[in-house]
Structures are given as structure tokens and as C-alpha cells.
């Protein structure tokens, strides 16, 4: 439907055209209002990088909308208000899913199904907007624009989740670890001259170990000569870059490394003490047992504690132990002493029972 045909139809159906135009304007106003409210909710209290992420995602979404505009006009043949109302429905659904994913992240700490829906709708929008491309470069551009928007929004959600929960996973394979493993980066905070000197000293120690190993194993003469030439080159570079001829500290470091490398197999011959024997604590010293007459003169609680200590806390055995030494003790009172109550309540009841009947009643 062309613009002239639409104008002719509207002139012949003024009332219907007015209703459709008003509905289109109302829908457009509602869309603008919803977009403004969503933008306020997104940008309120956000950090600058989060705001830039949202802006870049909106720009990429606008680029995708231009492709959908052409798709609705050329492929589907829509024009006029119908084309205006419908061409960006996938982008609006994508933004809605992104906002819901953001809310889910703030409330439930996960994007949920809305995060997956955002990626699915983004891929659908990219594919449809690239179908009417006039060249391969335009197709790649229109396909990549919504994917860039989804990636930026996804990174914003990941940063928010990390700020709320902290980093929960520490990857074993990271770019830093790969560079360190390949020898392209230094894991320590040493300077470049220090790292170069340490590298040369280690290379020299390894060359010395290699020559020693081949000499002791009776290797062929050409292999021994080859190891000797490597040792000479390593020594020259160490003297040049590590100042090995004048720095006594690095000379000592070289000798220590060679000594450790040449005696590494002695580790298998060591017989170190087991650390597990130290786990058991030494038994506490038992209190001295007084003579029978002295034991009976001690306070009853103190005599019971001595008996419990010599019988591993067993009340019955401690009672027999005291009886053998002429000390009689009540078993319930011994339980009170063992529990740390020292028989205070029991002694109080015993004292009340020992009072005369008149005094106890008066009390």
C-alpha cells in the first residue's frame, strides 16, 4: 500500500481514518511514556558504566530497528500506520525481557527465563533484519547490531550480580594464568631487571645440572660437549644480564639452586618424623594421693576430686577407691562434685535436716 493509495482511502473514509490515526497516536504516546519510565527506572542510582551500557545497547537496538523497518516494508509489504506500529515489536519484546531480567537479578540473584528470552529475541531480530540486506557486509552488520546490544546488557547484569554476591567462581584457566604458564608473564611483582636476572640464573643452574647428569650417566661424547657448550652460553648471558661476576648475592643464589637441583633425589631417602604423633596431647599429671589418715581429714569435695582424677572420672570406681582408704562418700554428692556443683544444694538440704524440729519449723 503506497502513500497515495493510503491518502485516497483516508479521504474517502474520514471517520475510520481519524479513529485509526488517534489510536496510532495514543499507542505511540503510551510507548514513549513507558520508555521514559523504564529509562528512569534503569538510570536511577546507577553508575556511569551501567548508564553507558544501557545507552550503547539502545543505540544498537535502534540499528536493529532500521533493519526491521525495511523488512516490514519490503518483505511483508506493510506501510503507513500499520508499519509504524508493528515494525519494532521484537525490539520492544527484547527490551521488556531485558528489564525483567534486570529485576530478577536484583530480587532473585538470577536473570531466569527472561535472560534466555532476551538472547532468543535478539537472535531472531538480527536474522530477520539481515534477510533484506543488499550485500554481505550489510547482512553481517545488521546481524551483529542486536547481538552487541544483548552482550552489553548481559555484561551489565553480570557486573550487578558480582557486586551483590562477590565473585563465587575462580576459573583455573584465565588469560593471566595462560601467559604465566607459557612464560610470557611473571606471576610476581618483580621488576624487569630482577626477572631477567633470575631467569638467567635459573637457566645457568639447569645447564649445570644437565651437564652433570650426562657426565655421570656416561652419555656419548657429543652430548656431553653439547651440554658443555650450553653451559658456557648460559654463563656468558648470566654474567652479562645478571651481573654474576660482581654480585655476591646472586652468586650465592646460583650455588643454592645448583645444590638443590643436584640433591633433589635425596628427598626420597629422608625419614622425617610423623606429624600425627603430635596430635595426641600429653596426659595430665595425677594429683598426689595423701596417706589414709590425711585423706579422711581433707574436705569431702577435695577427696572426691582426687578419687575421680585417679579413676578417669568414673563415680562408682572412685567411690570404691575412697572406701578402700577409709573415706565414705555419697554417690549423688560425688555426681554433684563431678558436675562442678560441689554439693552445695545437697549440703544445704543436709544442714536443714540436721536442725532441731522447732528451729526448722521456725525457719
Rounded distance between C-alpha atoms, residue 322 and residue 313, angstroms = 13
Residue 169 three-state SS: coil
Is 156 in the same domain as 42?
Answer: yes
- Assess whether 126 and 49 both reside in one domain: yes
Query: Are residues 305 and 259 located together in one domain of the fold?
Result: no
Q: What length is written for the chain?
A: 363
**End-to-end Cα separation, the chain, in angstroms:** 113
Instruction: Give the model's pLDDT for residue 354.
Output: 38
Residue 93 covered by a domain:
yes
Q: Are 322 and 347 in contact (CB under 8 A)?
A: no
Handedness of CA 204, 210, 215, 219 (dihedral sign): negative
Residue where the block lists cell 575462580: 170
Question: What is the C-alpha separation between 102 and 97, in angstroms, rounded?
Answer: 9
How many domains does the chain divide into? 3
Whether residue 353 sits in one domain with residue 250: no
Same domain, residue pair 25 and 70: yes
Q: Is 146 exposed, middle or buried (0-12, 13-18, 19+ CB in 10 A)?
A: buried
Put simply, whether the predicted model's pTM sits higher than 0.75 gets the answer no
Which of 266, 281, 314 finishes a domain?
Answer: 266
Domain for residue 244, yes or no?
yes
Q: Output the nine-digit C-alpha cell for 95.
A: 527490551
Which 8-state DSSP code applies to residue 78? -
Whether 160 and 206 share a structural domain: no
Domain boundary pick from 266, 284, 305: 266
Say whether both 138 and 24 belong to one domain: yes
176 found inside a domain: no
Q: Which of 275, 259, 276 is nearest to 267 (CA)?
A: 259
| Residue 81 in grid coordinates | 500506520
Domain assignment of residue 63, yes or no: yes
Sorted by sequence, the CB contacts under 8 Å of residue 19 that are 6+ apart come out as none
C-alpha closest to that of 239 among 279, 273, 196, 290: 196
Q: Torsion-angle region of residue 89: left (phi > 0), alpha (psi -120 to 50) or beta? A: alpha
Is residue 49 in a domain?
Answer: yes
Element (H, E) at 33: helix 14-43
Q: Does residue 47 belong to any structural domain of this protein?
A: yes
Q: What is the pLDDT of residue 347?
A: 42
- Classify residue 287: in a domain, yes or no: no
Residue 41: per-residue pLDDT:
55
DSSP helix/strand/coil, 353: helix
SS3 88: coil
Detail the DSSP E strand segments found in 267-357: none
Q: Is residue 170 part of a domain?
A: no
The parent domain of residue 323 ranges over 292-362
Same domain as 154, residue 51:
yes
Block means of pLDDT (10 residues each) for the chain, 363 residues, are: 59 67 68 60 58 73 75 72 69 81 77 82 80 79 80 77 64 74 72 81 92 90 92 91 87 90 84 66 63 74 84 84 83 81 48 39 37
Go through 201-218 and write b for each residue having 16 or more CB atoms within 10 A of its CB, e for each that does not: bbbbbbbbbbbeebeeee
What whole-number distance in Å separates Cα of residue 156 and Cα of residue 49?
Answer: 9
Residue where the block lists cell 645457568: 204
Q: pLDDT value at position 307?
A: 84
Q: How far apart are CA 114 and CA 94, in angstroms?
A: 9
CA–CA gap between residue 353 and residue 361 (Å, rounded): 11
Helix count and strand count (H, E) for the chain: 17, 0
At 229, list the grid cell: 657448550
Do 240 and 296 sit in the same domain of this protein?
no
Say if CB 323 and CB 292 are below 8 A apart. no
Regarding whether 132 and 68 lie in a shared domain, the answer is yes
Does one domain contain both 218 and 156? no
Does residue 8 sit in the same domain as residue 145?
Answer: yes
Question: What is the structure's pLDDT at 130?
Answer: 77
- Measured CA to CA, the distance from residue 49 to residue 160 in angstroms comes to 11
Amino acid at each position: 500500500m503506497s502513500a497515495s493509495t493510503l491518502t485516497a482511502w483516508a479521504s474517502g473514509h474520514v471517520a475510520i481514518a481519524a479513529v485509526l490515526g488517534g489510536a496510532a497516536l495514543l499507542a505511540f504516546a503510551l510507548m514513549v511514556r513507558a520508555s521514559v519510565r523504564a529509562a528512569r527506572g534503569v538510570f536511577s542510582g546507577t553508575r556511569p558504566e551501567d548508564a553507558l551500557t544501557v545507552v550503547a545497547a539502545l543505540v544498537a537496538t535502534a540499528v536493529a530497528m532500521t533493519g526491521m523497518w525495511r523488512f516490514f516494508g519490503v518483505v511483508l509489504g506493510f506501510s503507513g500506520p500499520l508499519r509504524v506500529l508493528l515494525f519494532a515489536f521484537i525490539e520492544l519484546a527484547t527490551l521488556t525481557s531485558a528489564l525483567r531480567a534486570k529485576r530478577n537479578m536484583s530480587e532473585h540473584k538470577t536473570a531466569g527465563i527472561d535472560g534466555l528470552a532476551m538472547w532468543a529475541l535478539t537472535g531472531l531480530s538480527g536474522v530477520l533484519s539481515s534477510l533484506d540486506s543488499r550485500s554481505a557486509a550489510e547482512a553481517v552488520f545488521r546481524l551483529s547490531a542486536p547481538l552487541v546490544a544483548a552482550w552489553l546488557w548481559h555484561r551489565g547484569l553480570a557486573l550487578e550480580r558480582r557486586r551483590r554476591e562477590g565473585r563465587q567462581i575462580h576459573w583455573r584457566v584465565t588469560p593471566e594464568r595462560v601467559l604465566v604458564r607459557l612464560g610470557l608473564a611473571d606471576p610476581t611483582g618483580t621488576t624487569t631487571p630482577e626477572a631477567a636476572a633470575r631467569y638467567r640464573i635459573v637457566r645457568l643452574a639447569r645447564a649445570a645440572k644437565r651437564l652433570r647428569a650426562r657426565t655421570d650417566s656416561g652419555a656419548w661424547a657429543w652430548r656431553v660437549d653439547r651440554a658443555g657448550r650450553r653451559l658456557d652460553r648460559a654463563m656468558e648471558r648470566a654474567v652479562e644480564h645478571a651481573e654474576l661476576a660482581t654480585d655476591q648475592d646472586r652468586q650465592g643464589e646460583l650455588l643454592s639452586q645448583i645444590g638443590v637441583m643436584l640433591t633433589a633425589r635425596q628427598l626420597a631417602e629422608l625419614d622425617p618424623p610423623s606429624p600425627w604423633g603430635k596430635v595426641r596431647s600429653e596426659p595430665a599429671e595425677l594429683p598426689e594421693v595423701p596417706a589414709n589418715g590425711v585423706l579422711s581429714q581433707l574436705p569431702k569435695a577435695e577427696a572426691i576430686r582426687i578419687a575421680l582424677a585417679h579413676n578417669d572420672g568414673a563415680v562408682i570406681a572412685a567411690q570404691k577407691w575412697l572406701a578402700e582408704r577409709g573415706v565414705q562418700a555419697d554417690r549423688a554428692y560425688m555426681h554433684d562434685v563431678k558436675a562442678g556443683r560441689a554439693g552445695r544444694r545437697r549440703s544445704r538440704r543436709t544442714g536443714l535436716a540436721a536442725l532441731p524440729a522447732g528451729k526448722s519449723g521456725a525457719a
